[in-house]
Amino acid sequence: MTVIGRFAVTTKRKQPFMGKPRSKGTESLANYLTQIFGPPSNSPPLAAHVRDGSREIKQGGGPGRLPEEFVAFLFVVCSSAGFRIALLEKSTQSQCINYLVFFFSPCVYTLQEADGDDKLLFPGEGEGELEGDSKADTPDVPPSTDNTPQCLNKALEGLSSRWKNWWIRGILSLTMIIGFFLIIYLGPIMLILVVMGVQIKCFHEIITIGYRVYHSYHLPWFRTLSWYFLICVNYFFYGETVADYFGALVRREEPLQFLVRYHRFISFALYLSGFCMFVLSLVKKHYRLQFYMFAWTHVTLLIVVTQSHLVIQNLFEGMIWFIVPISIVICNDIMAYIFGFFFGRTPLIKLSPKKTWEGFIGGFFATVVLSFFFAYLLSQYQYFVCPVEYNSETNRFAVECEPSNLFMIQEYTLPAVVQNAVRWKTVNLYPFQIHSIALSTFASLIGPFGGFFASGFKRAFKIKDFADTIPGHGGIMDRFDCQYLMATFVHVYITSFIRGPNPSKVLQQLLVLQPEQQLGIFNTLRNLLREKGMLPPAVEEAQ
Amino acid sequence: MTELRHRAGTETELQHQNSEDKGSETEGKEKDGASDNETKSDSGVPEVPVPADDTPEVLNKALSGLSSRWKNWWVRGILTLAMISFFFIIIYLGPMVLMMIVLCVQIKCFHEIITIGYSVYHSYHLPWFRTLSWYFLLCVNYFFYGETVTDYFFTLVQREEPLRILSKYHRFISFALYLTGFCMFVLSLVKKHYRLQFYMFGWTHVTLLIVVTQSHLIIHNLFEGMIWFIVPISCVICNDIMAYMFGFFFGRTPLIKLSPKKTWEGFIGGFFATIVFGILLSYVMSGYRYFVCPVEFNNDSNRFTVDCEPSDLFQLQDYGLPAVLQSITGWTTVKLYPFQIHSIALSAFASIMGPFGGFFASGFKRAFKIKDFANTIPGHGGIMDRFDCQYLMATFVNVYIASFIRGPNPSKVIQQLLALRPDQQLHIFNSLKAHLTEKGLLPALEEAA
């Protein structure tokens, strides 16, 4: 028996992946319940599409699988219940959040299994890795310690280690979901703060991995410098955002005006100081390490910080542009797992042997359908649909507006083929639902690549998890690795297809131009508006 | 300090003669390499093979009679003169050629740095990776050039239908291209080479960040006016030379352990000399429209034109001297171009921060145990060796222009205006009208909308 971290892996014979649990021993209720609620430590992970057991995957066997079936059942029941309830009544914001809780709690509960994928493959792959990397001076990263909170430990001390893991993961998952809904309820400002917190934690996790890989924890200055660069880049990005969205506030306060006007220069000066500190900190025997850490920091900043800012910009467009993509990615994980569990045969990619084509395709279609309905559900509430505006009088964020065309029901005529099939001529849809099809297509087809990238990264650096922040789940990065590409895609999608430039930003730029240029633009605009009929035709004015 | 004088032997007299020589860093770097050998006792850092000497045959023949020191000296001298003349020729040829040259330099720098990466990681034969690096370079260039083209060639783009579609969905297309590269990377991960592949992926991205963004900032600066391209580059070159000369004659106190040959005297002397040089050079150049005018694309003739009414920045103005200077020089006012005052800021930056770029490149070469980035220019090393100080400068000039000189580009603002909804346009129209009326630029008789 090999022990990997917290999981005890028992070597068993190959299990047919669709097999019913072997009912060994007595069929007493207690045993059956044990089998149902047995810890899934060796069970096929959620995001994996279980294939026929291979030698490397040392599975725990039957009892470990039942929870997934049970939970899948729970998921279907809850989601349909929630959906039905939502359709029946117009509800307030808090009620709709309750529905979302129904909808998602089983989903994320099962999501916890996702990491089993890489953990289980680690020992099997490890030998293959060792010869390949023998030349490169990469040391093994020491396994992370268990940091389950004491209270949980105490409460669960009676149970065996498998049970304990299962419960820990379950409790943590529920906690995360509830936390997610709580912060949605608390509003945009909380969301921004949470995104920032997540970003900082992800950055910290990746940088810590870098330190361990290169044994560079004690490099002079380097920890300070990494955090300093993080602050600089964040300052730059947040400054650009604030200047855009808080235009009225900025114009009121004098120091803010100064900061905004010279923002790029100030950010550049801050970055340069960091750069000079780096050059001055180069120590004779550690040049290479320092350059490696410098590059590692910059690539991490590129990945983590830019994406988190795109997430916040999406958020400002409307909370629906934040919630729906994240939910789609989560849903795709779950659906792909379920389809893989029931139908998986053909492996998808060598990098993650548990993923199957059936899971991939089934997850794709299921995600498209589910997100279609979810988008329908959310499009009705102003709280989600309206752009987040900063009200300068009340000094608060307001989400009230006239919903744009995207969120008003329109009639679409069905193509003839579908008409014959369904016998409806037209269908009432929100245009946003059509966009959600594009979003879910992306999440299903390209999202997994983000997961493969993170898997490859973990294998390359021989780590099991990014960190140990969430007991039972690993680090924050483990939870968010598929989300990153999604955030960028949604942002690019919005700027390309949905909205035009921000009018207040355009006005701001206009006011900064030279007077002659302003006059020129004024005349151009006037002619344009006259052509469009929005202005009365010109009377000859004396200029 | 004997090392400082020791340099005087071979290539170095060269710099005395050519005021715009670009080659002052290299000889210092060659000798720095010797001190590295004891520092690299640690982790398996492989030796990068020494690049072969690729002096052109014709030069070799012509100089076959001389000893090796002289030969080196002459090779460097001739190449330096060739580079200077080349620089002036392309300035003469115009903005289009300059853009092409910047693009080529960028590609060559990228190639050099990536090749170093391959040598360091023995990853030259990684499947797909060379293709992927070039593909990413292409994507990022496409993205940046697309943004530039849309800004400056607005009318041309609106005219041609395929260009219009490409520019409307530009970000989406660029992102799709990048994603394809990303997916190819993930699919190309090979079991035993994960770490190497991730390293090369990281290496490529950092190189792109450094090389491609900076070259695009150079092109943005170029579009503001060729003076914004020439003066910064000349200031950096001048700083190198002046710092060397001052160091040669007066150098005593070492500046930084990373480059033992640099001295405080050279640093400070170079600082003041560069400022003076910058003021003089900008005085000379501000008189010519060719340098001063923003580069515009003329739709009718389909060419770049540099014809305009020079802005306030390039018109002589009277400045009253402070009382101290008045008593010394006996002048009450002095006629200056405002640009000369800006050139003081640019020279100050070049003198103070430029060397840090050089230190960074020195540290990089020491870290990876290479003497030069490549062997492209005989006697000088690679293109990166020539351009390492320029990079920070380009970013600084761009940020400087954006913060202190110009406002947003009017054609870009018009473009954004046209993309808005009519009710938003009306709202902006009214705000603008109110603003202009306030300023008195519009008569108050204007009809209200």
- pLDDT tens for B7-18 read 333 333 333 333
Residue with structure tokens 């540099």? Answer: B306
A414 and A468 assigned to the same domain: yes
A38 and A110 assigned to the same domain: yes
Other beta carbons within 10 Å of A72? 20
Q: Is the dihedral of CA A385, A386, A387, A389 positive or negative?
A: negative
Q: What percent of chain B stands above pLDDT 90?
A: 10
Nearest neighbour of B410 by CB, restricted to A291, A521, A536:
A521
Chain-centroid distance of CA A458 in Å reads 18
B225 and B203 assigned to the same domain: yes
> Can you tell me the distance from the alpha carbon of A205 to that of A200, in angstroms, rounded to the nearest whole number?
9
> Can you tell me the distance from the alpha carbon of B9 to that of A429, in angstroms, rounded to the nearest whole number?
82
Contacts of A291 in chain B (CB under 8 A): 363-364, 367-368
Lowest-pLDDT choice from A271-285, B111-125, B215-229, B387-401: B111-125
Query: Alpha-carbon dihedral of residues B345, B346, B352, B353, nearest 10 degrees?
Result: 130
A467 and A422 assigned to the same domain: yes
pLDDT at B442 over 90: no
Kindly state whether residue A439 falls inside one of the protein's structural domains: yes
pLDDT at A369 over 90: yes
B279 and B317 assigned to the same domain: yes
> Can you tell me the distance from the alpha carbon of B154 to that of B333, in angstroms, rounded to the nearest whole number?
43
Lowest-pLDDT choice from A370-379, A425-434, B207-216, B414-423: B414-423
From chain B residues 222-261, the ones with a CB under 8 A of any chain A CB are 256-258
Kindly state whether residue A268 falls inside one of the protein's structural domains: yes
Q: What is the pLDDT of residue B63?
A: 60
A102 and A176 assigned to the same domain: no
Interface residue A193 vs chain B (CB under 8 A): no
Contacts of A506 in chain B (CB under 8 A): 413, 416-417, 420, 428
From chain B residues 356-375, the ones with a CB under 8 A of any chain A CB are 356, 359-360, 363-364, 366-368
Which of B106, B114, B109, B152 has its CA nearest to residue B131? B114
Interface residue B189 vs chain A (CB under 8 A): yes
Q: Return mean pLDDT, chain B.
A: 75
pLDDT at A431 over 60: yes
A479 and A519 assigned to the same domain: no
pLDDT at A200 over 50: yes
Kindly state whether residue A140 falls inside one of the protein's structural domains: no
Kindly state whether residue B107 falls inside one of the protein's structural domains: yes
Interface residue B37 vs chain A (CB under 8 A): no
Interface residue A302 vs chain B (CB under 8 A): yes
Inter-residue contact B373 to B116 (CB < 8 Å): yes
Inter-residue contact A256 to B333 (CB < 8 Å): no
The count of residues in chain B is 449
pLDDT at B370 over 60: yes
> Can you tell me the distance from the alpha carbon of B22 to that of B20, in angstroms, rounded to the nearest whole number?
6
Q: What is the pLDDT of residue B287?
A: 82
Kindly state whether residue B373 falls inside one of the protein's structural domains: yes
pLDDT at A268 over 60: yes
DSSP state of A407: G
DSSP state of A60: -
B224 and B77 assigned to the same domain: no
Task: Report how many Cβ contacts below 8 Å link chain A to chain B.
Answer: 221
> Can you tell me the distance from the alpha carbon of A205 to that of A117, in angstroms, rounded to the nearest whole number?
20
Is the Cβ pair B432, A510 closer than 8 Å?
yes
Interface residue A258 vs chain B (CB under 8 A): no
Kindly state whether residue A136 falls inside one of the protein's structural domains: no
Shortest CA distance from B257: residue in chain A: A284
Chain-centroid distance of CA A177 in Å reads 13
Q: What are phi and psi of A488, to 5 degrees?
A: -65, -45
Shortest CA distance from A291: residue in chain B: B364
> Can you tell me the distance from the alpha carbon of A70 to that of A65, in angstroms, rounded to the nearest whole number?
9
Domain final position from A67, A98, A131? A131
| Contacts (Cβ under 8 Å, ≥6 apart) of A379 | A320, A385, A407, A430, A432, A433
Q: What is the pLDDT of residue A106?
A: 44
Domain final position from B389, B405, B421? B405
Question: Domain limits at B148?
Answer: 95-405
Burial A159-188 (b: 16+ CB within 10 A, else e): eeebbbbbbbbbbbbeebbeebbebbeebb
Q: What is the pLDDT of residues A485-529, one digit of tens each?
A: 888 899 889 888 876 656 666 776 777 676 777 787 788 778 777
From chain B residues 254-313, the ones with a CB under 8 A of any chain A CB are 256-258
B83 and B121 assigned to the same domain: no
Please tell me the total count of domains within chain B. 2
Identify the H or E element spanning B232: helix B227-250
Residue type, B332: T
Q: What is the pLDDT of residue A392?
A: 67
B100 and B185 assigned to the same domain: yes
A530 and A427 assigned to the same domain: no
pTM of full prediction above 0.90: no
A505 and A526 assigned to the same domain: no
Q: What is the pLDDT of residue A149?
A: 60
Q: What is the pLDDT of residues B337-368, one digit of tens each?
A: 888 889 999 999 999 888 888 888 888 888 88
B86 and B208 assigned to the same domain: no
Nearest neighbour of A529 by CB, restricted to B45, B416, B429:
B429
Which pair of structure tokens corresponds to residue B11?
A: 């290539």
Greatest mean pLDDT among A281-285, B280-284, B420-424 lies in: B280-284
A536 and A506 assigned to the same domain: no
Nearest neighbour of B39 by CB, restricted to A285, A501, A511:
A285
Question: Domain limits at A466?
Answer: 150-512
Q: Return mean pLDDT, chain A.
A: 70
Q: What is the pLDDT of residues A326-359, one digit of tens each?
A: 889 888 888 888 888 888 888 888 777 778 898 8
Q: What is the mean pLDDT of residues A306-334?
A: 87
3-state SS class at B373: coil
Residue A235 binned pLDDT confidence (cut-offs 50, 70, 90): very high
Q: What is the pLDDT of residue A517?
A: 74
Is the Cβ pair A279, B198 closer than 8 Å?
no
CA distances from B75 to A260, B64, B159 (A): 51, 11, 51
Domain final position from B76, B93, B110? B93
Kindly state whether residue B13 falls inside one of the protein's structural domains: no
B163 and B78 assigned to the same domain: no
A272 and A310 assigned to the same domain: yes
Greatest mean pLDDT among A5-14, B259-268, B413-422 lies in: B259-268
Q: What is the mean pLDDT of residues B270-278?
A: 93
Lowest-pLDDT choice from A301-305, B104-108, B208-212, B298-302: B298-302
Q: What is the mean pLDDT of residues B91-113?
A: 86
B240 and B147 assigned to the same domain: yes
Residue with structure tokens 């070469």? Answer: B365
Identify the H or E element spanning B305: strand B303-305
Please tell me the distance in Å from B91's CA to the nearest CA on chain A. Answer: 29
Please tell me the distance in Å from B421's CA to the nearest CA on chain A. Answer: 8
Contacts of B206 in chain A (CB under 8 A): 295, 298-299
Q: What percent of chain B stands above pLDDT 70?
A: 76
Kindly state whether residue A340 falls inside one of the protein's structural domains: yes
Please tell me the total count of domains within chain A. 3
Q: What is the mean pLDDT of residues B420-428?
A: 75
Interface residue A279 vs chain B (CB under 8 A): yes
Which of A46, A2, A100 has its CA nearest to residue A344? A46
Interface residue A76 vs chain B (CB under 8 A): no
Lowest-pLDDT choice from A110-124, A249-263, B67-81, B422-436: A110-124
Chain-centroid distance of CA A31 in Å reads 38
B212 and B121 assigned to the same domain: yes
Please tell me the distance in Å from A186's CA to the nearest CA on chain B. Answer: 31
A507 and A524 assigned to the same domain: no
Interface residue A489 vs chain B (CB under 8 A): yes
Kindly state whether residue A496 falls inside one of the protein's structural domains: yes
B150 and B80 assigned to the same domain: no
pLDDT at A38 over 60: no
Interface residue A457 vs chain B (CB under 8 A): yes
Residue type, A72: A
Q: Is the dihedral of CA B291, B292, B297, B301 positive or negative?
A: negative
Domain final position from A96, A131, A166? A131
Contacts of A509 in chain B (CB under 8 A): 407-408, 413, 416
In this prediction the ipTM stands at 0.77
A326 and A206 assigned to the same domain: yes
CA distances from B9 to A171, B30, B220, B245, B310 (A): 75, 14, 41, 14, 47
Domain final position from A81, A100, A131? A131
